[in-house]
């Protein structure tokens, strides 16, 4: 049975400078293929408008809004009628958006945090503009990019009523090995982050200097102009998602680096792990707790703790060994982390959330069907659906 789901997220029309767009595209494509109708609401930002690589998507309706007033004016009825409304992390004025959704949603209210460790750090420091701590227990469902002990923290320290991990995923139709020459020995794709730059220096730039005859590449936006790169490192500002599979397929190995907050929390696999694996590219990754629950070190992924590790993988490991690791990773990812797998997980979580009522804005319990007026309205029944269809 088809359901109406509304996302309010950072970006889906532009992948420039963010990792959210590809995560949303994969998940929502999976939902569409499973029969659901999805509306994605995105704030119109000039930096995304200049780099809009998917102004329209065949698997969902996308609408841009100018500000929160425009959002409230144009989409209140759609929010109220939806079976589920999911607000994402890093939405501008997101705390205000959360208030509005919680006041008007009649279906399942959910928050999808694609940046959970960063969010928790910002909540502790008091500078999280897209979510307030007291809003967490008001959502029927908290979806987290990060699994492991962080889920228990959300329940124990912040009062989340239902927490579930929802990792990113890969569109297996788009991400597959391409017939191209592997002319890059090691590549990395990721937006600039100050806390990842030391990893790039240690695990890519230093190996590049030690292997001057090899080719390296770094793709991503917002890198400071003053950064200096080895002569054999090629810099590419941005590649649209349609070009990602070819880029991964050109690499003999690809590098995965994790932001500091996420590395400390662990259990935070980047979308590049799944995309690279689906393209049959061996992955060299930094180490973090829980990585073995995603891909098995040594047999599905290579762990680098030093520059010497990277040099050894590139210069000493036989091609056949790297190829075996890549095949194992691809098989694992396609069997557990595709768009369809992730969409099915979300269906299951939303169906379970129907069994618990959402609390009112004053802290008292209300039914899922009570509106913001405070007057009781008829309790909305959970759809009679299997987990495969909400």
What residue has token string 């997980």? Answer: 345
Instruction: For the chain, count helices (H), then strands (E).
Output: 14, 13
- What are the DSSP E strand ranges found in the chain? 4-9, 37-43, 61-65, 84-88, 108-113, 141-144, 163-165, 184-189, 216-219, 233-236, 251-256, 283-285, 302-303
Q: How many other β-carbons are positioned within 10 Å of the β-carbon of residue 390?
A: 28
Tell me if 176 is assigned to some domain.
no
Two tokens, residue 64: 């841009």
320 shares its domain with 383: no
User: Are residues 149 and 248 both part of a single domain?
Assistant: no
pLDDT of residue 111: 98
Q: Is 385 within the bounds of a domain?
A: yes
Section 265-273 average pLDDT = 96
Range of the domain at 30: 4-169+339-389
pLDDT at 357: 54
Higher pLDDT, residue 131 or 361: 131
- Same domain? 306 vs 382: no
Q: What is residue 150's predicted lDDT score, i.e. its pLDDT?
A: 97
pLDDT at 354: 82
* CATH code of the domain covering residue 349: 3.40.50.2000
pLDDT tops 80 at residue 1: no
Give the contacts of 318 (CB within 8 A, at least 6 positions apart): none
Same domain, 49 and 154: yes
Asked whether the beta carbons of 96 and 8 are under 8 A apart, the reply is no
Rounded CA separation 66/88 (Å): 17
Q: In this structure, are 12 and 161 located in the same domain?
A: yes
pLDDT tens profile 291-304: 999 999 999 999 99
Q: How far apart are CA 118 and CA 70, in angstroms?
A: 28
CB distance 16 to 238 below 8 Å: yes
Residues 221, 358: one domain? no
Residue 174 is assigned to a structural domain of this protein:
no
Shared domain for 112 and 202, answered yes or no, is: no
**Is residue 291 a contact partner of residue 301, using CB atoms and an 8 Å limit?**
yes
The pTM of the full predicted model, rounded to 2 decimals, is: 0.87
The pLDDT, as a whole number, for residue 372 is 34
Q: Within this chain, do residues 279 and 373 fall inside the same structural domain, yes or no?
A: no
Is residue 25 domain-resident? yes
* Alpha carbon distance 132, 288 (integer Å): 28
Q: What is the pLDDT of residue 359?
A: 53
d(CA 355, CA 381): 10
Domain end marker among 296, 319, 336: 336
Separation CA 256–CA 303 (nearest Å): 10
Q: Print burial letters for 182-214: b (CB count within 10 Å at least 16), e (below 16).
A: eebbbbbbbbebeebeebbebbbbbbbeebeeb
Q: Tens digits of per-residue pLDDT, 64-92?
A: 999 999 999 999 999 999 999 999 999 99
HSE-up of residue 385 (Cα within 13 Å, Cβ side): 23
- Please write the tens of the pLDDT for every residue from 146-179: 999 999 999 999 999 999 999 999 999 999 999 9
Question: What percent of the chain shows pLDDT beyond 90?
Answer: 89
- Region of poorest pLDDT, from 38-47, 131-140, 370-379: 370-379
- In this predicted structure, the answer to whether residue 370 has a pLDDT above a threshold of 50 is no
Token pair, residue 226, equals 């003053």
Instruction: Say if 31 falls within a structural domain.
Output: yes
Indicate whether 179 belongs to any domain: no
Collapsing DSSP to helix, strand or coil, 307 comes out as helix
Residues 344, 318, single domain; the answer is no
pLDDT at 141 over 80: yes
Same domain, yes or no, for 209 and 281? yes
pLDDT, residue 361, reads 52
pLDDT value of residue 329: 98
Q: Considering 336, 353, 373, which residue would you say is the last residue of a domain?
A: 336
Task: Specify whether the CB–CB gap between 68 and 97 falls below 8 A.
Answer: yes
Domains contained in the chain, number: 2
Longest Cα separation, the chain: 72
pLDDT band at 12 (very low <50, low <70, confident <90, very high): very high
Q: Which two tokens stand for residue 87?
A: 């607000």
Cβ atoms of 279 and 176 closer than 8 Å: yes
- Residue 289 pLDDT level (bands cut at 50, 70, 90): very high
Q: What is the pLDDT of residues 37-48, one digit of tens each?
A: 999 999 999 999
In a domain, 178, yes or no: no
346 and 329 assigned to the same domain: no
Token pair of 47 as six digits: 């930096």
Among residues 113, 28, 64, 119, which one has the least CA distance to residue 343?
Answer: 28
Asked if residue 186 lies in contact with residue 174, where contact means CB atoms within 8 angstroms, the answer is no
| Mean pLDDT, residues 99-128 | 97
User: What pLDDT score does 2 carry?
Assistant: 76
Asked if the model's pLDDT at residue 349 lies above 60, the reply is yes
The mean pLDDT of 350-355, rounded to a whole number, is 88
Q: Is the pLDDT of residue 328 over 80?
A: yes
**Side-chain half-sphere exposure of 330, counting CA atoms within 13 A:** 18
- Residue pointed to by tokens 């029944």: 381
At what angle are helices 339-353 and 20-33 packed, to 10 degrees? 80
Which DSSP string do the residues of 9-56 spell out, in sequence order? ES-SS--TT-SHHHHHHHHHHHHHHTT-EEEEEEE--HHHHTT-S-SS
Residue 259 inside a domain? The answer is yes
233: which strand partners? 216
Distance CA(302)–CA(328), nearest Å, equals 12
Quote the pLDDT of residue 385: 29
Q: Which of 244, 259, 256 is nearest to 186 (CA)?
A: 256
- 315 and 294 both lie in a single domain: yes
Average pLDDT, the chain: 91
Asked if the model's pLDDT at residue 104 lies above 60, the reply is yes
* Secondary structure (3-state) at 9: strand
CA distance 262 to 173: 28
């Amino acid at each position: 049975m088809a359901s109406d789901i509304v996302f309010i997220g950072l970006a889906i029309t532009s992948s420039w400078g963010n990792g959210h767009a590809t995560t949303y595209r994969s998940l929502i494509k999976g939902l569409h293929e499973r029969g659901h109708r999805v509306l994605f609401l995105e704030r119109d930002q000039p930096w995304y408008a200049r780099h809009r690589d998917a102004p329209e998507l065949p698997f969902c309706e996308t609408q841009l809004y100018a500000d929160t007033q425009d959002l409230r004016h144009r989409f209140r009825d759609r929010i109220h009628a939806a079976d589920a409304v999911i607000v994402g992390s890093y939405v501008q004025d997101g705390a205000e958006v959360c208030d509005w959704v919680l006041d008007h949603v009649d279906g399942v209210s959910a928050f999808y945090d694609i940046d959970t460790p960063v969010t928790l750090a910002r909540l502790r420091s008091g500078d999280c503009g897209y979510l307030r701590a007291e809003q967490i227990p008001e959502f029927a469902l908290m979806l987290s990019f990060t699994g492991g002990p962080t889920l228990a923290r959300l329940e124990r320290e912040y009062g989340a009523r239902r927490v579930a991990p929802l990792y990113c995923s890969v569109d297996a139709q788009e991400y597959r090995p391409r017939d191209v020459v592997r002319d890059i020995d090691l590549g990395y794709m990721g937006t600039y982050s100050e806390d990842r730059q030391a990893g790039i220096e240690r695990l890519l730039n230093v190996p590049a200097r030690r292997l001057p005859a090899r080719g390296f590449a770094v793709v991503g936006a917002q890198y400071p102009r003053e950064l200096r790169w080895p002569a054999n490192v090629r810099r590419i500002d941005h590649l649209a998602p349609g070009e990602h599979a070819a880029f991964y397929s050109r690499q003999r190995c690809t590098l995965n680096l994790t932001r500091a907050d996420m590395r400390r929390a662990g259990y935070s696999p980047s979308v590049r792990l799944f995309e690279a694996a689906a393209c049959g590219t061996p992955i060299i990754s930094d180490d973090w707790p829980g990585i073995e629950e995603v891909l098995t070190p040594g047999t599905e992924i290579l762990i680098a703790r030093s520059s010497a590790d990277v040099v050894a993988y590139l210069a000493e490991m036989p091609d056949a060994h790297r190829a075996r690791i890549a095949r194992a990773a691809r098989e694992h990812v396609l069997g557990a982390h595709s768009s369809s797998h992730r969409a099915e997980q979300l269906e299951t979580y939303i169906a379970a959330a129907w069994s618990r009522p959402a609390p009112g804005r004053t802290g008292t319990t209300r039914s899922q069907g009570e509106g913001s007026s405070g007057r009781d309205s008829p309790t909305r029944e959970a759809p009679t659906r299997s987990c495969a269809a909400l």
